Amino acid sequence: MNNNIKSQGKTWEGEPYLKKPEWLRIKMQGGENLNHVQKTLDKFGLTTVCHEASCPNRMECFSKSTATFMILGSICTRGCTFCDIETGSGQNVDKQEPRHIADAVKALKLKYVVVTSVTRDDLSDGGAFHFANVIGEIKKASPSASIEVLIPDFKGSLEALNTVIKANPIIINHNIETVPGLYKAVRPQAKYEQSLELLRRVKDRTDKIYTKSGIMVGLGETQEEVLKSLRDLRDAKCDFLTIGQYLAPSKKHHPVIEYVHPNVFEIYRKAALELGFKDAACGPLVRSSYKAHEMLEK
């Protein structure tokens, strides 16, 4: 029996939201840690993807003193139809940001740090040098902290990617986001093969950095398309995988076509492990950096 919940609508504007099933109910979190994280972020004037992308897990993560720092501003130069981050012209790069993030990491006593960014096609290196600076400052302030970076595609620039590789984070994460057949509707300014090539290039240059990628489901893909993308990622020697349910931020975004049942996520998880991924986090509320430190520690 197919337990998935599918939309019958074919238009974006005015398409009714599907009723969220029980497996997507989010338990509210609170407490002193949540307030401490938010106060620390405010103190150093920092941005998190948790807030900017309306992540459903932000309350849980904040309550556990974790957050994913977003660098290079809060405005993205691309317009992916799934994303809630504001789009427009790139902002000025804050040269003090690397130091401020390092100070926040130290203040929060983080052992595992995730750093991502908006896409900055307006910058000659896509922001790679800034990423490297952030990694370097964190290492100086918190030498024992593990650092994962979730990077954009840098428009395929090998030089930009090498800048990040030389900074030596423990994981380089780059999401393919969806299956290739949906790129035109979901990621019109990105290229599926280019994203795979980025992951492949990391492994071609070093065996000391893990790679990671993520996919959203519920956008209209088929199970076979997802499984094909998993094979593509393994062909690119990707180490870790995340798969989560797409949740439309608003009626202006790509609609949720389907709420994928947890049983299907388990099919994907087992398939990923059989293909050779070191670990795969697959579930309705899984996101790119959700419990990332636990995946690495397994």
Residue 59 three-state SS:
helix
pLDDT of residue 108: 84
Q: Confidence class of residue 123 from pLDDT cuts 50, 70 and 90?
A: very high
**Residue 13 backbone dihedrals phi, psi, to 5 degrees:** -65, 125
Name the pTM for this structure. 0.87
Closest by CA position to 96, among listed 72, 116, 112, 120: 72
Query: 177: which DSSP letter?
Result: B
Domains of the chain: 26-297 (3.20.20.70)
Specify the range with the lowest mean pLDDT, choosing from 46-50, 54-58, 122-126, 241-245: 54-58
Element containing residue 21 per DSSP (H, E): none
Residue 80 pLDDT more than 70?
Answer: yes
Residue 53 pLDDT more than 50?
Answer: no
Distance, CA of 61 to CA of 67 (rounded, Å):
6
Residue 93 three-state SS:
coil
Q: For 236-276, what is each residue's pLDDT tens digit?
A: 999 999 999 998 888 888 999 999 999 999 999 999 999 99
Specify whether the CB–CB gap between 12 and 256 falls below 8 A: no
Closest by CA position to 178, among listed 127, 273, 254, 75: 254
